Amino acid sequence: MQNLSKNQQIIFDLIDKSPEPLKAYSILFNVQKRGIKAPLQVYRALDKLVEIGKIHKIESRNAFIACQNSSCQISKATAFSICESCEKVTEINNSNLSKYLTGFKDKNGMKYNKYNLEFFGLCKKCVSKKS
Amino acid sequence: MQNLSKNQQIIFDLIDKSPEPLKAYSILFNVQKRGIKAPLQVYRALDKLVEIGKIHKIESRNAFIACQNSSCQISKATAFSICESCEKVTEINNSNLSKYLTGFKDKNGMKYNKYNLEFFGLCKKCVSKKS
DNA sequence: TACAAAATGTTATATTATAACAATTTAACT
DNA sequence: AGTTAAATTGTTATAATATAACATTTTGTA
Ligand SMILES: [Zn+2]
Ligand SMILES: [Zn+2]
Ligand SMILES: [Zn+2]
Ligand SMILES: [Zn+2]
């Protein structure tokens, strides 16, 4: 478990304390006062943080959240729930699900080493608002 | 089952006959000879085609493929296998998987009405190349 | 200290996607 | 056929997301 570099730490801290997924340019804006001035500095840190599993990219939103699953140090099996109304994103930590998907074999014989799953719906809060 | 408009048909035909996912600007380039000149014309057709389930967006690639599953008219339960070497993408049609995921309930009580799953690995061809 | 790997800094540019507004076509209803 | 609303199209401009290329600095390690 390596330590984070300066830029990586700054950007991880920001994402980790955010209650919602952050987009790259929103991150850039927020860390400019800390000396990170260019998009590439942000993207490089994001790439590394994703690679080591400290954050995940929510592909459908082009946004990043801190890993909420302590055992998920390498991002090879990720699942999220996304509220289509308030955009709240939660990482799903369900061993039944991860076992099922990790063991899944398609009929084409391809063996998978990674997956990403995104569920969409309405969170409890938003469901009750609409009823 | 509505008919497609002119632009929608042109763009669907292109995607449908492509052996690989197509990106929006690659589509634009390819349909310019047919009178579609602006990105927005492409994106609007793509949006509609996704909405009615004729094509799917591969989120991790920002690319689009025709639905390979005749029963998948509304894109609410999609799963794909993606080769990380040759980038071949296949839509997975597995009733066991779709049943499992459609019925999946998280402990937070959120009920999902849609999901997208992307598996990554090496296709048979690419596995044998490397061995 | 010397070396290699990783990280940083910087400018420019590529790629993906939407805003805003006007005009035209299509479909449904008198 | 005439009226109307919805969907689609056309067009220009711009926003948002992401990478290329190159030089320099820092870090870990022999
Ligand atoms: Zn995680
Ligand atoms: Zn919500
Ligand atoms: Zn499909
Ligand atoms: Zn392959």
At the second CATH level, the architecture of B77-130 is 2-Layer Sandwich (3.30)
What is the percent of chain A where pLDDT is above 90?
Answer: 83
Beta-strand pair B77-83/B63-66: unpaired
pLDDT in tens, B25-78: 999 999 999 999 999 999 999 999 999 999 999 999 999 999 998 755 567 999
Q: Is the pLDDT of residue B106 over 90?
A: no
Residue B39: which nucleotide is closest by CA–C1'?
C17
Domains A6-66 and A77-130 share a fold: no
CA of B96 to C1' of C19 (A): 43
Q: Is the pLDDT of residue B13 over 90?
A: yes
Give DSSP secondary structure letters for A62-130: TEEEE---TT--S-SEEEEEEETTT--EEE---HHHHHHHHT---TT-PEEEEEEEEEEEE-HHHHHHH
CA of A64 to C1' of C23 (A): 41
User: For domain A6-66, which CATH number applies: 1.10.10.10, 2.60.40.10, 1.10.3470.10, 1.10.3720.10?
Assistant: 1.10.10.10
- Give the ligand whose atoms come closest to the C-alpha of residue B111: 2
Where along chain B do its domains lie?
Answer: 6-66, 77-130
Closest residue to C26 by CA to C1' distance? B5
Residue A108 — very low, low, confident or very high, per pLDDT cuts 50/70/90? confident
pLDDT in tens, B70-100: 755 567 999 999 999 999 999 999 999 999 9
Asked if residue A94 keeps its beta carbon closer than 7 A to nucleic acid strand C, the reply is no
- Give the ligand whose atoms come closest to the C-alpha of residue A53: 1
The model carries a pTM of 0.94
